[in-house]
Amino acid sequence: MVFNVFTLSEDNRDSLKARIEARFPSNYYEISPGEWLISHAGTAKEVFITLFPEPEFPLPSRNVVIFGVVSYWGLISKDVWEWIAAKSGG
């Protein structure tokens, strides 16, 4: 499954990016500053918990939203479409 992970908070973009790089090293694609696609076999909640284990939960996880990508359409770089197709088996 592909998930869209984003934050609108400039304060935690760098720390979120570092967490994504460390915990999903070959399964993420940065779309723009503060927005990534992550490939993971589980649920959005599991992605969140992987990024923010319980003891760390409150502060660094603020203003972070994760959506499962069920369907998609639009105009964006060919690289994004290829990454989604490769990671979602489509």
Reduced to 3 states, what is the DSSP secondary structure of residue 4? strand
pTM of the model: 0.88
Given pLDDT bands bounded at 50, 70 and 90, which one contains residue 10? Answer: confident
Interval 30-58: pLDDT, tens: 999 999 999 999 999 999 999 988 766 55
65 φ, ψ to 5°? -125, 140
| CB atoms inside a 10 Å sphere around CB 7 | 20
Contact 10, 34 (CB under 8 A): yes
Helices (H) and strands (E) in the chain — how many of each?
3, 4
Question: Quick one: DSSP state of residue 23?
Answer: H
- Which architecture characterizes domain 2-88 according to CATH? 2-Layer Sandwich (3.30)
What is the reported pLDDT for 88? 87
Mean pLDDT of the chain: 89
β 64-69/28-32 pair status: unpaired
Report the percent of the chain where pLDDT is more than 70.
Answer: 91
What is the reported pLDDT for 58? 57
Interval 72-84: pLDDT, tens: 899 999 999 999 9
